Amino acid sequence: MVGRIHAPNRVPLYQVFGRTGRRLPVPCLYMRPQLRLVAPLLFALLVAIIGGCAGSSASSFDPTGACTSDGSVSGAYPELEALVPVRYMDAAPGTLDSGRNCSAANLGRLADLGITEVRFAGGTWTFGAERASVLAVFTAPGLTAEALADVYLDSARTANRTKILGATTPTIEGRSARRLDTQTGPRLQTVLVWPSATTDQVNVVITNDLPDARIDDAVAAFGGR
């Protein structure tokens, strides 16, 4: 089918997550048989921050034309995937994916701001024992780091068994960023969101059980862009 890329129904962990705030069952995190944007064995990565698990209503995802369903697949938007750091912790990402959201459920408060479609790309690095990092890029006309960070914060506030440890505003490359630290059971998660040097583009780092030094390395991997 011309212009259509076939892929299973799935939502990457870095995707924009909706309003429901419900805790997800583990299968919602699976993406591909091997790693999928987050490895299947990484069963608890950022469950608290996701807040929704909507995917494409069809068995295929079409990244072209009007956005009628949410979805992602490797190679959907090569120009966005090219913006994801190619190296982090001296390694290439285990998986690289891209897609878009247009449903109100997954756009969350972005829909209230008049944003009707968000495109994204991200890579995932896993280090065993549920330790992992996702480096991602989002783009949409009018998208800001503040608005995207609020979506993650909304989901964390309503997620089951999740404690917000801190919500701070660091500075990255002279730009105002938003950092969210949470804990779900014994797992510590961090979401760091800051404006790209390109208008209407936002960088995101999501980590699970990684120290600040590794978070700093993830930010540095973007090379100031």
DSSP assignment of the chain equals -TT-EE--S---TTS---S--PPPPGGGG--SSS-TTS-TT-TTTTHHHH------SSSEE--SSS--S-EEETTS-HHHHTTS-S-BTTB--SEEEEEEE-SHHHHTHHHHTT---EEEEEEEEE-STT-EEEEEEEE-TT--HHHHHHHHHHHHHHSTTEEEEEEE--EETTEE-EEEEEEETTEEEEEEEEE-SSTTEEEEEEEES--HHHHHHHHHHTTT-
Task: Please write the tens of the pLDDT for every residue from 10-30.
Answer: 445 455 444 333 332 222 222
Mean pLDDT calculated for residue range 164-190: 94
Highest mean pLDDT among 3-17, 26-40, 94-108: 94-108
Domain positions in the chain are 5-221
Separation of alpha carbons 197 and 187, rounded Å: 32
Residues found in the chain: 225
> How confident is the model at residue 14, as a pLDDT?
57
| pTM listed for this prediction | 0.79
pLDDT of residue 26: 27
Predicted confidence band of residue 141 (pLDDT cuts 50, 70, 90) = very high
* Amino acid, res. 207: T
- Residues above pLDDT 70, as percent of the chain: 74
pLDDT attached to residue 12: 53
